[in-house]
């Protein structure tokens, strides 16, 4: 079997399975072996029942003391039994698994593995896994890969399929010179891929991840180098007019605030780039709340007043709508036509915008990736801006750049990348940094508290609302699959309505809502028709409501620090004092230590570096989950040494390697 073979050729994979795998982006053996686990499960030494506490994920060795009871509940068939050791008992519960009754007999002993919950005084484990003692001992010494899944594909199925092509993995050819491998103590690519799927132990898994990270960095660097070669010497055919530059000064003078030093410097950089011999390719880096949007607006204004079209691309529809509305207001006096283009618009609506872009009637378009789809043609695209761009891949950027006659490119990012790494990662760009926040801002006040503080938090929110302010509440995440995120958000907000009373208008937002519903809710929140917005993390990126002064985050311990920092960045955006309340539900020492970093600092750079230091030993993948950059495994902080190595190698061997690396 070969890397390029279709997975249908693997024993055990039929048409149906292959179709499900396709949804995961797996068509070939090559794609299968590069489909890495999301995390690993290690089964821990069993503890006694009395040692367990709410929320613990544990194994217990217990004897079954009742018969299996099966009855129909409202939504599920529920099977349960009681199991006990000498220190206490636990009720084991399974949903929609009536056949489970055949597995268990009174008097038998099993190891049960799951999360402890309390129902009244009773300990409960829902959907526990169960093992014979012998099998559990065997499993305990291994790390079980957990793959990201979609319906129709199980973890076991992926494990089995990968096992079937283990010979192909072993034969993956090494593209790096042998002396580099030995000198840098790298695993071979074949070894590393094998370890990712079947890790021997933590140490060797870490080495495997390092090697895969290296591969990802290298292929990324080679690609952006090509991008740079193509664009860097592209002549600038979209120069600014003198008039446009002058009007920009008047626009800035008319703003309700003075630009910060960093904003002014960024605007100067952009102005001189857009007037230079070659096209602009610039990254604007600034922490959340540093005021990047207005800098983008100024660039769009100058560009359009010079007679060219501009495009602003953002990662979510909700953010697109917000930017669209803000820009429409700002540019009204200039008679510039701003259009919105998002995936959820009707075909008819989209067609109208396509027409206007093609004819040149539309001056500025704001939207999601819809603005780079093939159907979108521009009359004279002069400037492309991506906001919160780390959510966009290099590929999308390449496509966007091909849309026009090499338009100027501006990227806005809040990702706090240290300068030394930014220079490598954005080798194809110049960089402006906005260091300071607007001076009128008061420092956000933070507190990390337990669940017993909830009543005080609610009455605090009530008072802030009385004073005319608004609040966000980020809902706890659901564990297991008893209820969906959506149901959870709805339940929480119902509960909150009751607690806050009729005077406070509570509403909710979650990812499963239609885009139009989401936009409507957000609209009303920004127009102050909603006081408290209960939400999942869908509001994480970019949303701006300067009148919101409280951010309350449930289950704060379950988020990465970088993500918490982004969430907190939704408040403290106006002149009023803002507050962030982190509810630490599972108060482990580790989570307390991590959250303390946020309590003490509002600085994105500091938080990113502390996050790195505090990561637990089992936390192999770090913040890659936050969607940063393009990488599946590589983490720019954690693998900074691999990034630097990839940089060196790409300089030494780049030409030779180009054809050999999977892109």
Contacting residues toward ligand ADP, per CB under 6 A: 257, 259-260, 263, 286, 288-294, 414, 438, 440, 544, 546, 573
Region from 117-125, 335-343, 534-542, 616-624 binding Mg ion, contact rule CB under 5 A: 534-542
Q: How far is the CB of 569 from ligand ADP (least distance, A)?
A: 6
Judged by beta carbon, residue 414 or residue 564, the one nearer ligand ADP is 414
The pair of structure tokens assigned to 495 is 């509960």
Region from 193-201, 257-265, 338-346, 537-545 binding Mg ion, contact rule CB under 5 A: 537-545
Residue/partner pairs of 179-188 with CB below 8 Å, 24 or more apart: 180/649, 184/645, 186/210, 186/211, 186/214, 187/211
Judged by beta carbon, residue 404 or residue 542, the one nearer Mg ion is 542
Which residue, among 495, 499, 502, 497, has the nearest Cα to 476 in the 3D structure? Answer: 495
Q: How far is the CB of 297 from ligand ADP (least distance, A)?
A: 9
Residue 622 near Mg ion by CB under 5 A: no
Which residue, among 359, 357, 270, has the nearest Cα to 310 in the 3D structure? Answer: 357
Judged by beta carbon, residue 146 or residue 252, the one nearer ligand ADP is 252
Judged by beta carbon, residue 199 or residue 542, the one nearer Mg ion is 542
Judged by beta carbon, residue 219 or residue 293, the one nearer ligand ADP is 293
What radius of gyration do the chain's Cα atoms show? 27
- 542, 560, 569, 574: residue in contact with Mg ion (rule CB under 5 A): 542
Judged by beta carbon, residue 90 or residue 598, the one nearer ligand ADP is 598
Contact between 405 and 237 under an 8 Å Cβ cutoff? The reply is yes
Provide the CB-side half-sphere exposure for 147 (13 A, CA).
Answer: 24
Binding at 259: pick from ligand ADP, Mg ion, none (beta carbon under 5-8 Å per type): ligand ADP
Judged by beta carbon, residue 264 or residue 558, the one nearer ligand ADP is 264
Region from 52-60, 82-90, 206-214, 538-546 binding Mg ion, contact rule CB under 5 A: 538-546
Whole-number Å distance between alpha carbons of 627 and 465 = 33
Whole-number Å distance between alpha carbons of 644 and 190 = 22
Binding at 291: pick from ligand ADP, Mg ion, none (beta carbon under 5-8 Å per type): ligand ADP
Q: How far is the CB of 604 from ligand ADP (least distance, A)?
A: 10
Q: Report residue 474: phi and psi, to 5°.
A: -90, 120
Judged by beta carbon, residue 17 or residue 386, the one nearer Mg ion is 386
Binding at 257: pick from ligand ADP, Mg ion, none (beta carbon under 5-8 Å per type): ligand ADP
Whole-number Å distance between alpha carbons of 627 and 351 = 31
Judged by beta carbon, residue 329 or residue 512, the one nearer ligand ADP is 329
Q: Which residues contact 548 (CB under 8 A, 6 or more apart)?
A: 469, 470, 471, 472, 570, 571, 573, 578
Q: How far is the CB of 326 from ligand ADP (least distance, A)?
A: 8
Binding at 128: pick from ligand ADP, Mg ion, none (beta carbon under 5-8 Å per type): none
Which residue, among 322, 360, 336, 366, has the nearest Cα to 251 in the 3D structure? Answer: 336
Q: How far is the CB of 319 from Mg ion (least distance, A)?
A: 8
For the chain, the maximum distance between any two Cα atoms, rounded to a whole number of angstroms, is 89
In this chain, which residue has its C-beta nearest to ligand ADP? Answer: 291
Taking CA atoms, 4 is separated from 12, 32, 153, in Å, by 18, 10, 21
Whole-number Å distance between alpha carbons of 419 and 628 = 16
Binding at 440: pick from ligand ADP, Mg ion, none (beta carbon under 5-8 Å per type): ligand ADP
Binding at 315: pick from ligand ADP, Mg ion, none (beta carbon under 5-8 Å per type): none
389 SS3 class = helix
Strand duo 69-72 + 77-85: pairing: antiparallel
Q: How far is the CB of 409 from ligand ADP (least distance, A)?
A: 18
Judged by beta carbon, residue 436 or residue 479, the one nearer ligand ADP is 436
Binding at 573: pick from Mg ion, ligand ADP, none (beta carbon under 5-8 Å per type): ligand ADP
Judged by beta carbon, residue 390 or residue 403, the one nearer Mg ion is 390
Binding at 289: pick from Mg ion, ligand ADP, none (beta carbon under 5-8 Å per type): ligand ADP
Q: Report residue 531: phi and psi, to 5°.
A: -95, -45
Judged by beta carbon, residue 114 or residue 542, the one nearer Mg ion is 542
Contact between 298 and 248 under an 8 Å Cβ cutoff? The reply is yes
Residue 289 near Mg ion by CB under 5 A: no
In this chain, which residue has its C-beta nearest to Mg ion? Answer: 542
**Spacing of C-alpha 239 from chain mean position:** 36
Q: How far is the CB of 407 from ligand ADP (least distance, A)?
A: 22
Region from 428-436, 453-461, 540-548, 640-648 binding Mg ion, contact rule CB under 5 A: 540-548
Binding at 274: pick from ligand ADP, Mg ion, none (beta carbon under 5-8 Å per type): none
The secondary structure of the chain in percent helix, strand, coil, rounded to multiples of 5, reads: 45, 20, 35
Q: Provide the 10 A C-beta neighbour count for residue 307.
A: 14
Taking CA atoms, 289 is separated from 23, 271, 296, 522, 580, in Å, by 37, 22, 14, 19, 15
Q: How far is the CB of 136 from Mg ion (least distance, A)?
A: 49
Region from 302-310, 352-360, 501-509, 541-549 binding Mg ion, contact rule CB under 5 A: 541-549
Q: How far is the CB of 259 from ligand ADP (least distance, A)?
A: 5
At how many degrees (to 10) do helices 202-231 and 189-197 cross?
Answer: 120
Question: Between residue 10 and residue 69, which ones bind Mg ion under the rule CB under 5 A?
Answer: none
**Spacing of C-alpha 276 from chain mean position:** 36
Q: How far is the CB of 256 from ligand ADP (least distance, A)?
A: 8
Judged by beta carbon, residue 263 or residue 306, the one nearer ligand ADP is 263
Whole-number Å distance between alpha carbons of 221 and 658 = 10
Q: How far is the CB of 267 from ligand ADP (least distance, A)?
A: 11
Question: Which residues bind to Mg ion, rule: CB under 5 A?
Answer: 542
């Amino acid at each position: 079997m070969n890397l390029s073979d279709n997975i249908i050729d693997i024993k055990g994979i039929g048409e149906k399975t292959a179709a499900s795998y396709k949804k995961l982006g797996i068509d070939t053996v090559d794609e299968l072996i590069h489909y890495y686990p999301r995390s690993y499960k290690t089964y821990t030494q069993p503890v006694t029942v009395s040692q367990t506490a709410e929320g613990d994920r544990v194994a217990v060795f217990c004897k079954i003391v009742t018969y299996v009871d099966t009855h129909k509940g409202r939504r599920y068939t529920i099977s349960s039994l009681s199991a006990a050791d000498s220190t206490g008992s636990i009720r084991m519960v399974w949903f929609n698994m009536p056949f489970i009754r055949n597995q268990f007999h009174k008097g038998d002993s099993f190891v049960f593995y799951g999360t402890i919950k309390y129902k009244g005084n009773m300990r409960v484990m829902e959907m526990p896994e169960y093992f014979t003692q012998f099998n559990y001992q065997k499993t305990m010494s291994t790390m079980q890969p957990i793959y990201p899944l979609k319906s129709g594909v199980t973890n076991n199925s992926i494990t089995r399929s990968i096992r079937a092509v283990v010979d192909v993995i072993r034969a993956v050819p090494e593209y790096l010179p042998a002396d580099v491998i030995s000198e840098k103590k790298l695993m071979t690519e074949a070894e590393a891929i094998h370890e990712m799927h079947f890790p021997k132990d933590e140490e060797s898994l870490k080495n495997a991840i390092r090697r895969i990270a290296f591969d990802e960095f290298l292929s990324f660097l080679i690609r952006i180098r090509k991008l740079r070669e193509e664009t860097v010497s592209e002549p600038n055919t979209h120069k600014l007019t003198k008039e446009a530059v002058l009007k920009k000064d008047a626009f800035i003078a008319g703003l309700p605030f003075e630009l910060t030093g960093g904003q002014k410097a960024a605007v100067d950089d952009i102005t001189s780039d857009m007037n230079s011999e070659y096209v602009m390719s610039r990254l604007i880096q600034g922490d959340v709340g540093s005021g990047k949007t207005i800098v983008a607006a100024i660039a769009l204004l100058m560009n359009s007043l010079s007679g060219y079209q501009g495009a602003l691309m953002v990662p979510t529809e909700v953010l697109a709508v917000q930017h669209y509305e803000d820009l429409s207001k700002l540019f009204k006096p200039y008679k510039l036509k701003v259009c919105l283009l998002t995936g959820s618009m009707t075909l008819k609506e989209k067609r109208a915008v396509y027409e206007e872009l093609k004819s040149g009637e539309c001056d500025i378009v704001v939207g999601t990736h819809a603005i780079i789809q093939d159907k979108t043609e521009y009359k004279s695209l002069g400037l492309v801006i991506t906001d919160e761009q780390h959510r966009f891949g290099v590929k999308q950027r390449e496509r966007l750049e091909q849309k026009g006659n090499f338009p100027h490119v501006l990227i806005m990012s809040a990702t706090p990348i240290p300068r030394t790494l930014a220079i490598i990662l954005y080798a194809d760009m110049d960089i402006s940094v906005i260091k300071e926040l607007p001076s009128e801002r008061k420092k956000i006040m933070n507190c990390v508290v337990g669940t017993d503080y909830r009543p005080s938090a609610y009455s605090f929110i009530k008072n802030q609302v009385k004073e005319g302010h608004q609040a966000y509440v980020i809902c706890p995440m659901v564990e297991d699959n008893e209820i969906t995120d959506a149901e959870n958000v709805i339940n929480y907000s119902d509960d909150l309505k009751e607690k806050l009373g009729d005077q406070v208008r509570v509403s909710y937002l979650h990812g499963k809502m239609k885009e139009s519903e989401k936009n409507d809710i957000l609209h009303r929140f920004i127009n102050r028709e909603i006081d408290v917005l209960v939400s999942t993390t869908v509001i994480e990126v970019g949303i701006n409501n300067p009148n919101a002064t409280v951010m309350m985050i449930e289950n704060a311990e379950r988020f990465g620090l970088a993500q918490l920092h982004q969430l907190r960045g939704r408040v403290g955006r106006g002149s009023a004092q803002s507050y962030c309340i982190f509810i630490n539900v599972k108060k482990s020492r580790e989570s307390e230590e991590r959250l303390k970093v946020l309590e003490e600092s509002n600085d994105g750079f500091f938080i990113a570096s502390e996050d790195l230091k505090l990561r637990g030993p089992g936390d192999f993948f770090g913040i890659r989950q936050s969607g940063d950059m393009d990488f599946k495994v590589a983490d720019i902080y954690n693998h900074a040494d691999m990034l630097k190595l990839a940089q060196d190698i790409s300089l030494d061997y780049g030409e030779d390697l180009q054809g050999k690396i999977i892109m």
